[in-house]
Amino acid sequence: MSNAEEIAKYKKLLDDRVITQEDFDKKKSELLSSTEGSNVSPDNKWLVTLLLCFFVGFLGVHRFYVGKTGTGILHLLTLGAFGIWTLIDLIIIVLGKFTDKDGNLVTR
């Protein structure tokens, strides 16, 4: 559900007098300041992804961590395509072009 849809849902609750104006304003500001709109994930996710790829990348653990289960399983079964796929993922993560399952960039 997008931020706009969430806000509309809370607006409906406000109109139906289920929540107060204060609750609506608080939730609206939370949604507008979330990272979804910026298409970038938190900094710690980048570091964890980088370390997982570096140490156990051949098992695809970094792909499972960001929610890419399908390619994580392929990575596991092929041992990271004999290391080549893992090396490519490591480079992509360092460059800040790696994405999670929602398409958000995993960057510093």
pLDDT in tens, 62-84: 999 999 999 999 999 999 999 99
**Mean pLDDT calculated for residue range 37-49:** 73
Mean of the per-residue pLDDT values for the chain? 87
Q: Which residues of 65-98 are buried (b: 16+ CB within 10 A; e: fewer)?
A: bbebeeebeebeeeebeeeebbeebbeebeeeeb
Q: What is the pLDDT of residue 65?
A: 94
